[in-house]
Amino acid sequence: MRSRQAILFFSPAGRSVPDFVTAWVNGRGLPVITVPQAAGVEERVLRALPTLVVVDADSGEEGMQLCARLKGDAYTAIVPLAVVTKRHATDLVRRWFAAGADEVITPMFEPGEQAGRLEALVTRAERDVAVNPSTRLPGTTEIERAMRRRMDLGEFFAVCYADLDHFKEYNDRYSYNDGDRVIYLLSRILHDVVRGMIGKDGFVGHIGGDDFIFILPIDSIGTVCTEILDVFDTLIPYQYNEQDRRAGYYFGKDRRGQLHRVPLMTLSIGVVTNQHRRFTHTAQVSELATEMKSYAKTQAGSVFVVDRRHDPEPGEEGSRTSEA
């Protein structure tokens, strides 16, 4: 039986699922799978990440070792794990937390609070998984959700795909630590400019690496993108040593080992809007934004380009194209 979108309850002693867990699970419409063997829990978690693992504290040392193994693996550690105990003992609770438990629920909590703690635990886990770990910006799941919400509301909006130019060469010359610092710097520029200029009407997400998405009202494209590029071009030279910064370039090797001149990093932003298009799916938006980002990268310097194409009117064949 698949454990995806399910609750796993580990109780080698054969204890029944606690009533507050059953009530909470029924409210979410998720199945509860009771697993009596630690190996069975690990197998199911590795096969398909469940929504939550609940461990019966009566499992003792076996349960603690299971907890430590699940939380010690980078893949399974993202699954929230709660321990349910029938008695409140400070030393015992401390040992479970030391083993890696995300929550320990004891009889000192009323049933309503016990269920609330499970809900909060799962909500926190879902939020943490949905953000990029290096920048703490929303990841692809939240990016798609932000697009879909605007589409469902019938709003006019712009999706902007930002990507660094010459970032790989920078990593090769300096280090991945320096590269991570540049990515974090870009994340702060995007977040602070968008938040500062349009507040809650904007959205900034991190796809991964040096790829970012931000969403704006259509009438703010020019002012926001121009400010982002100005701030970026002002700050990015200081990520280089003095010699490279003064020269405005450095020499790097291409794939054939030939030396060539590498300019300082620039920022390319491709922009698509639904002003003249009918978006029906987020994948369509992503495809067009990627296309415009690739077009922007063919231009010199830090630039933003907006897709001016529109869907054909009734009777037209094809669509007129204008990119700027």
Asked if pLDDT for residue 322 goes beyond 50, the answer is no
CATH architecture classification, 140-306: 2-Layer Sandwich (3.30)
Q: Is 22 helix (H, G, I), strand (E, B) or coil?
A: helix
Asked if pLDDT for residue 315 goes beyond 80, the answer is no
Whether 114 and 20 have beta carbons less than 8 Å apart is answered as yes
- Phi and psi at 40, nearest 5°, equal -65, -35
Q: Is 80 helix (H, G, I), strand (E, B) or coil?
A: coil
Pick the CATH number of 7-129 from 3.30.70.270, 1.25.40.10, 1.10.10.10, 3.40.50.2300: 3.40.50.2300
pLDDT digits (tens, 9 = 90+) for 64-117: 999 999 999 877 888 999 999 988 788 899 999 999 999 999 998 998 999 999
Q: Which residue in 290, 298, 268, 311 sits closest to 159, CA to CA?
A: 290
The residues pairing with 77 across neighbouring beta strands, listed in sequence order, are none
pLDDT digits (tens, 9 = 90+) for 46-77: 888 899 999 999 999 999 999 999 999 877 88
Domain ranges of the chain: 7-129, 140-306
- How far apart (Å, rounded) are the C-alpha atoms in residues 286 and 161? 9
28: which 2 tokens? 């979410």
Q: Which residue in 300, 302, 293 sits closest to 272, CA to CA?
A: 293
pLDDT digits (tens, 9 = 90+) for 284-296: 999 999 999 999 9
Global pTM reads: 0.73
Model pLDDT, residue 320 = 33
- How far apart (Å, rounded) are the C-alpha atoms in residues 238 and 307? 32
Model pLDDT, residue 311 = 72
